[in-house]
Amino acid sequence: MAGLCSVFSVCLCLLGFSAAVFEDQVGKFDWRQQFVGKVQFALFDTHSQASKKLLVATEKNIFASLNSRTGDLFWRHVDKTGPDGHINTLMMHGQDAVVVVGNGRLLRSWETTVGGLNWETVLDTGSFQSAAYIGVQDVVRYVAVLKKSAISLHYLSSGHQKWVENLPESDTVQYQTVYSGGNGQVFVLGVVPNSHIVIVEYNIEDGEIMKQKSVAAPWLSSLQSSCVMVGSGVLLCADPTTKSLYTFPLQSADQTTMTPILLESLGVEVAAGFQPVLISTQPHPARPPLSEFFLQLGPDYHILLQLKDGLVSTLRDFNPSYLVAFATTGEKTVAAVMSPKNETVSSLYCTVINLYSADTGRRLLDTTIIYSMDPNGGKPAKLYIHTFLKKDDSVGYRVLVQTEDLVLTFLQQPGRVVWSREEALADVVTMEMVDLPLTGTQAELEGEFGKKADGLLPMVLKRLSSQFILLQAWMSHLWKLFYDARKPRSHVKNEVTFETLSRDEFNLQKMMVMVTASGKLFGIDSKSGTVLWKQYLENIQPNSVFKLMVQRTTAHFPHPPQCTLLVKDKVGLGSLYVFNPIFGKKSHISVPALPRPILQSLLLPLMDQDYSKVLLLIDDQYKVTAFPSTKNVLQQLQEMASSIFFYLVDSSQGRLSGFRLRKDLSTELIWEVVIPTEVQKIVGVKGKRANEHVHSQGRVMGDRSVLYKYLNPNLLAVVTESTDSHQERSFVGIFLIDGVTGRIVHEAVQRKARRPVHFVHSENWVVYVYWNTKSRRNEFSVLELFEGMELYNSTVFSSLDRPRPPQVLQQSYIFPSPISTLEATLTEKGITSRHLLVGLPSGAIVSLPKMFLDPRRPEVASDQSREENLIPYSPEMPIRTEWFINYNQTVSRVRGIYTAPSGLESTCLVVAYGLDIYQTRVYPSKQFDVLKDDYDYVLISSVLLGLFFATMISKRLAEVKLLNRAWR
Q: CA-to-CA distance for 193 and 187, rounded, in angstroms? A: 19
Instruction: Identify which of 594, 626, 624 has the alpha carbon closest to the alpha carbon of residue 613.
Output: 626
Q: Determine if 82 is a binding residue for other proteins (CB under 8 A).
A: yes
Task: Give the Cα separation of 261 and 255 in Å (integer).
Answer: 16
CB of 510 vs other proteins, minimal distance in Å: 21
With a CB cutoff of 8 Å and minimum separation 6, the contacts of 608 are 614, 628, 630, 632, 633, 636
Q: Which range binds other proteins by CB under 8 A, 296-304, 321-329, 900-908, 955-963?
A: 955-963
Residues 482-511 that bind other proteins (CB under 8 A): none
* Bridge partners (DSSP) listed for residue 104: none
Please confirm whether the linkage preceding 756 is cis (ω < 30° from 0). yes
Contacts with 849 (C-beta within 8 Å, 6 or more apart), sequence order = 17, 19, 833, 835, 836, 924
Q: DSSP string covering 209-264, please? A: EEEEEEEE-TT-S-HHHHEEEETTTEEEEEETTTTEEEEEETT-SS--SPEEEEGG
Name which of residues 710 to 729 contact other proteins (CB under 8 A). Answer: 711, 713-714, 716, 725, 727
Spatial separation of the C-alpha atoms in residues 497 and 390, rounded to whole Å = 38
Among 282, 387, 601, 899, binds other proteins (CB under 8 A): 601
603 vs 673, which CB is nearer to other proteins?
A: 603
463: left (phi > 0), else alpha (psi -120 to 50), else beta? alpha
Which of 110-143 are b and which e, b meaning 16 or more Cβ less than 10 Å from the residue's Cβ?
Answer: bebeeeeebbebebeebebbbbbbbbeeeebbbb
Least distance in Å: CB of 606 to other proteins?
8
Q: Which residues contact 647 (CB under 8 A, 6 or more apart)?
A: 600, 656, 657, 658, 659, 685, 716, 739
Residue among 517, 604, 673, 861 that touches other proteins (CB under 8 A): 604
Q: Return the closest-CA partner of residue 847 out of 922, 744, 753, 778.
A: 922
Q: Which is nearer to other proteins, 79 or 239 (CB)?
A: 79
Which is nearer to other proteins, 68 or 185 (by Cβ)?
A: 68
Residue 262 or 958: the one with the smaller Cβ distance to other proteins is 958
- Per CB under 8 A, the segment of 402-410, 550-558, 648-656, 856-864 that binds other proteins is 648-656
Rounded-to-integer distance, Cα 141 and Cα 136, Å: 7
**773 scored as a contact of other proteins (CB under 8 A):** yes
CB of 785 to other proteins, least distance (A): 14
The CB-of-536 to other proteins minimum distance in angstroms stands at: 23
Closest CA to 894 of 911, 880, 881, 877: 911
Least CB distance to other proteins at residue 545 (A): 4
Taking CB under 8 A as the rule, does residue 600 contact other proteins? yes
Name the one range near other proteins by CB under 8 A: 238-246, 578-586, 599-607, 621-629. 599-607
Report the chain's terminal Cα–Cα distance, integer Å: 54
**In 3D, which of 174, 168, 180 has the Cα closest to residue 204?**
180
C-alpha closest to that of 807 among 788, 783, 792: 788
CA atoms within 13 A on the CB side of 425: 27
Residues 6+ positions from 556 with CB-CB distance below 8 Å: 610, 611
H or E element in which residue 859 lies: none
> Between 348 and 555, whose beta carbon lies closer to other proteins?
555
- The contact mask relative to other proteins for 101-140 (x = CB under 8 A, - = no) is ----xx-x--x--xxxxxxx-x------------------
Q: Pattern of binders to other proteins over 821-860, x per CB under 8 A? A: ---------x---------xxxx-----------------
How far apart (Å, rounded) are the C-alpha atoms in residues 120 and 491? 47
CB of 271 to other proteins, least distance (A): 39
Out of 632, 651, 833, 927, point to the residue binding other proteins (CB under 8 A): 651
We find the least distance from the C-beta atom of residue 721 to other proteins, in angstroms, to be 9
CB of 714 or CB of 833, closer to other proteins: 714
Contact residue for other proteins among 171, 309, 366, 934 (CB under 8 A): 934
Site membership for other proteins, residue 780 (CB under 8 A): no
The least CB distance from residue 876 to other proteins, in Å, is 6
Q: Is 517 in the site for other proteins (CB under 8 A)?
A: no
Beta carbon nearer to other proteins, 323 or 599: 599
- Half-sphere exposure (CA, 13 Å, Cβ side) for 67? 9
Q: If binding is defined by CB under 8 A, does position 645 make contact with other proteins?
A: yes
| Residue 794 or 862 with smaller CB distance to other proteins | 794
- Each residue 532-571 as x (binds other proteins by CB under 8 A) or -, in order, gives -------------x-x--------------------x---
**Contact track, other proteins, 662-701, x by CB under 8 A:** -------------------xxxxxxxx-x-xxxx------
Q: Name which position in 140, 599, 633, 767 contacts other proteins (CB under 8 A).
A: 599
- Rounded Cα distance between 429 and 467, Å, is 45
Give the interface segment with other proteins, choosing from 17-25, 440-448, 514-522, 625-633 (CB under 8 A).
17-25
Tell me whether residue 118 or residue 291 sits nearer to other proteins (CB atom). 118
Min dist CB 603 to other proteins, Å, is 7
The SS3 assignment for 693 reads coil
Q: Which of residues 794-813 bind other proteins (CB under 8 A)?
A: 794-800
Site for other proteins in 893-932 (CB under 8 A): none
**For residues 40-79, which are near other proteins according to CB under 8 A?**
74-75, 77-79
Q: Does 279 bind other proteins (CB under 8 A)?
A: no
In the list 87, 245, 395, 648, the residue contacting other proteins (rule: CB under 8 A) is 648
Q: Which of 38, 60, 85, 845 binds other proteins (CB under 8 A)?
A: 85
Q: Quick one: 105 or 398, whose CB is closer to other proteins?
A: 105
684, 717, 757 from 675: Cα distances, Å: 13, 14, 18
Name every residue whose Cβ is closer than 8 Å to that of residue 471 and which is 6 or more positions away in sequence.
Answer: none
Q: Which is closer to other proteins, CB of 534 or CB of 688?
A: 688
Q: How far apart are CA 898 and CA 894, in angstroms?
A: 11
DSSP state of 183: B
Q: Is the peptide bond before 168 cis (omega within 30 degrees of 0)?
A: no
Binding piece for other proteins, criterion CB under 8 A, among 332-340, 492-500, 664-672, 775-783: 775-783
Q: Which residues lie closer than 8 Å to 632 by C-beta, 6 or more apart?
A: 608, 609
Closer Cβ to other proteins, 138 or 934, answer by number: 934
Nearer to other proteins, 82 or 299 (CB): 82
Within 519-538, the residues that bind other proteins by CB under 8 A are: none
Indicate whether 207 belongs to the interface with other proteins (CB under 8 A): no
Per the CB < 8 A criterion, the answer to whether 67 and 50 are in contact is no
Q: How far is the CB of 657 from other proteins (least distance, A)?
A: 11
Binding range to other proteins, per CB under 8 A, among 350-358, 396-404, 511-519, 792-800: 792-800
User: At residue 915, what are phi and psi to the nearest 5 degrees?
Assistant: -75, -35
Torsion angle in degrees (nearest 10) through CA of 887, 889, 894, 898: -70
Q: How far is the CB of 132 from other proteins (least distance, A)?
A: 23
**Diameter of the chain by CA atoms?**
138
- CB–CB of 97/109 below 8 Å? yes
Instruction: Tell which one of 469, 665, 814, 831 touches other proteins (CB under 8 A).
Output: 814
What are phi and psi for residue 456, nearest 5 degrees?
Answer: -70, -50
Specify the residue, 298 or 597, whose C-beta has the smaller distance to other proteins.
597
Interface with other proteins in residues 875-894 (CB under 8 A): 875-876, 881-882, 884, 887-890
